[in-house]
Amino acid sequence: MSTEQLKELVRGLVDDRIRELVGDPDLGLRLGDSLRARLKQSLVSSDRLSGENIAERIGLRW
């Protein structure tokens, strides 16, 4: 096994372990009807916000 192959193997193992430990706390939960409708509306809308705009709205310095 080459050094590069070993590095890739270790990266994969570490990534898998982190995913196991951290996981997705929302995995398996259902979306409510109102949230699902809002998400669908957001996807069809052409309005987009820039990262700068969002950062300004929540008080972050970008």
Rounded CA gap, 21 and 16, in Å? 9
Rounded CA gap, 7 and 24, in Å? 26
pLDDT in tens, 38-53: 999 999 988 888 999 9
pTM: 0.40
The Cβ of residue 56 has, within 10 Å, a number of other Cβ atoms equal to 13
Work out how many domains the chain is built from and give that number.
Answer: 1
For residue 9, the enclosing domain spans: 3-57
pLDDT, mean of residues 6-12: 95
Q: Do the domain assignments include residue 62?
A: no
Output the pLDDT for position 27. 84
Torsion (CA) 52, 56, 61, 62 in degrees, nearest 10: -10
Residue 15: alpha-carbon gap to chain centroid: 15
Q: Do the domain assignments include residue 52?
A: yes
